[in-house]
Amino acid sequence: MKTLYNHLIAGLTFGLLIIAAGCGSNDSESLETSTPVDSSVTQAVDSSQLAPPVPKILPNPYFNELAQLIAGTVPFDSLNLLNVDSAYYAMYQQRMGKNFQQITADRLKPMEDFFGEELKREGVDETLPVFYPFAGGDFLHVHQVYPQSRDYHLFALEPIGQIPDYSSVSATEMDSLLHDTETMLRDIFKRSYFITKNMTSDIQSENRTSGLIYTMLWAIGITGHEVYHVEQLHLDSVGVAQADTVKGREVTFEQGIRISFKEKAATEMRYLTYLDCDISNRKLKRDTAMLTHLKALPRSNTFMKAASYLPHYYFFSTIREIILDRSETIIQDDTGIPWRHVNKKEFKPRLFGVYAPPVSDFTADTLYQPDLERAYLDSNYFGGKMPFSLGYHWNSKLQNQMMFVRQ
């Protein structure tokens, strides 16, 4: 995917240029001379011939402030466009900060350290684009697994939603947005994944949090990033993503979104892309643009968790094959691609944690993997314990993670 921004270029600040004698070649057309120039002579350069300094790229005033507000990271006195009740916001910040601090210590930092060490051990290129099918808008955890990537590609069925012009609403209505955001994030804080029935209820159109745009903006803000650019995406007939910049403050997202973001002091822009799509075999057979787009994804590092075991079913075999084809590395739990479908000659497996049968919400006999259970007893595959909780067995801690690295 093409880069939307060039790196910032420092402006020229010198008004005089020293020209060395006997140069012998005309490297700069603007300084061409037909006679040798004495080294003791300086020649003034017309400042009108100098390229003007490239203006500094600033965060998007509206979308960045919205992201920082729902993350609770912007001081009340620094709000310029959005109106909230100061007392309510202070309590919201306190709760949000406490919850995030807790999962950072218990889950996020251990995840980043653990996967960072394992990826480095296997010599994985951690800067590759990231492919996250069945993502459900979860940028928070995939960023912890692959923090060095610049491009994150998320795919899920949930709608992106809409953003009204919050700069024109009352403090009471903004307080409702913060309340709905906190409600939507309850399962992320407690369990590390969104429960489908709760998410379906949370993103109803009558709620302020009408789609996954709010989870993505929240995650970008809470992880110390700023929002620079927001675009609508749609796929053309041959599966190429076409982008339209969101120019106003009110927007309803349809097929896709791309958010440009970065840490304040960073020089390189990063991109979060989300496409609202059904990636079952039946839908992909009819949606040839989406199928073409998925097959044309760059070589990527892939992440899956709490995927409702969908890659196990035959009617998701197409996306399963695409994942295996496009991935250089796959990090997943047992809800991702079944052990039997991974070619061990193509991918080197590393198994972590404890394998246990699926939780009671997923009772189909075909979801239990006795071959994976045996693999966990094989010292050639088993890599050790997991120092964090992630996935469906959050209550029992009988959790697993797998890493498959292309050989």
What is the DSSP track for 46-57?
-GGGSPPPPPPP
CB-facing half-sphere around the CA of 170: CA atoms within 13 A: 3
Residue 109 near residue 102, CB atoms below 8 Å:
no
Provide CB contacts within 8 A for 188, sequence distance 6+. 103, 138, 140, 194, 215
Provide CB contacts within 8 A for 303, sequence distance 6+. 130, 131, 132, 141, 142, 145, 146, 330, 331, 332
The reported pLDDT for the residue numbered 80 is: 96
How far apart CA 21 and CA 36 sit, in angstroms, is: 6
How far apart CA 204 and CA 207 sit, in angstroms, is: 6
How do 270-276 and 327-332 pair as beta strands? unpaired
The reported pLDDT for the residue numbered 198 is: 82
Cβ atoms within 10 Å, residue 221? 23
The reported pLDDT for the residue numbered 6 is: 42
The reported pLDDT for the residue numbered 49 is: 54
How far apart CA 145 and CA 138 sit, in angstroms, is: 12
Give, for 275, the enclosing helix (H) or strand (E): strand 270-276
Please report, as a single letter, which amino acid is at residue 311.
P
How far apart CA 225 and CA 260 sit, in angstroms, is: 10
The reported pLDDT for the residue numbered 67 is: 98
Helix (H, G, I), strand (E, B) or coil at 251: strand
The DSSP code for 126 is: T
CB-facing half-sphere around the CA of 311: CA atoms within 13 A: 26
The set of long-range contacts for 380-383, using a CB threshold of 8 Å and a minimum separation of 24, is 381/349, 381/350, 381/351, 382/351, 382/352, 383/118, 383/350, 383/351, 383/352
The reported pLDDT for the residue numbered 193 is: 84
How far apart CA 183 and CA 198 sit, in angstroms, is: 9
pLDDT tens, position by position, for the chain (407 residues)?
444 334 433 343 333 333 333 334 444 333 333 444 444 444 444 444 555 665 678 999 999 999 999 999 999 999 999 999 999 999 999 999 999 999 999 999 999 999 999 999 999 999 999 999 999 889 999 999 999 999 999 999 999 999 999 999 999 999 999 999 999 999 999 999 888 788 888 887 677 888 999 999 999 999 999 999 999 999 999 999 999 999 899 999 999 999 999 999 999 999 999 999 999 999 999 999 999 999 999 999 999 999 999 999 999 999 999 999 999 999 999 999 999 999 999 999 999 999 999 998 898 788 999 999 999 999 999 999 999 999 998 888 799 999 999 99
The reported pLDDT for the residue numbered 53 is: 60
How do 300-304 and 130-133 pair as beta strands? parallel
How far apart CA 50 and CA 38 sit, in angstroms, is: 24
Helix (H, G, I), strand (E, B) or coil at 188: helix
- Continuous H helices in 104-185: 109-121, 139-145, 171-184
- Copy the structure tokens of residue 75: 């001081």
Give, for 131, the enclosing helix (H) or strand (E): strand 130-133
- Copy the structure tokens of residue 346: 């193509």
The DSSP code for 380 is: T
The reported pLDDT for the residue numbered 78 is: 96
The reported pLDDT for the residue numbered 368 is: 95
The reported pLDDT for the residue numbered 33 is: 36
How far apart CA 207 and CA 108 sit, in angstroms, is: 29
**Burial grade of 388 (CB within 10 A; 0-12, 13-18, 19 or more):** buried
How do 151-156 and 130-133 pair as beta strands? parallel
Give, rounded to a whole angstrom, the gap between the first and last alpha carbons of the chain.
Answer: 25
In the numeric block, the tokens 């912007």 are attached to 74
This prediction's pTM:
0.85
List the beta bridge partners of residue 155.
133, 275
How far apart CA 84 and CA 69 sit, in angstroms, is: 9
**Selection from 103, 134, 143 nearest residue 274 by Cα:** 134
The reported pLDDT for the residue numbered 52 is: 60
Residue 193 near residue 305, CB atoms below 8 Å:
yes
The reported pLDDT for the residue numbered 26 is: 42
How far apart CA 195 and CA 203 sit, in angstroms, is: 12
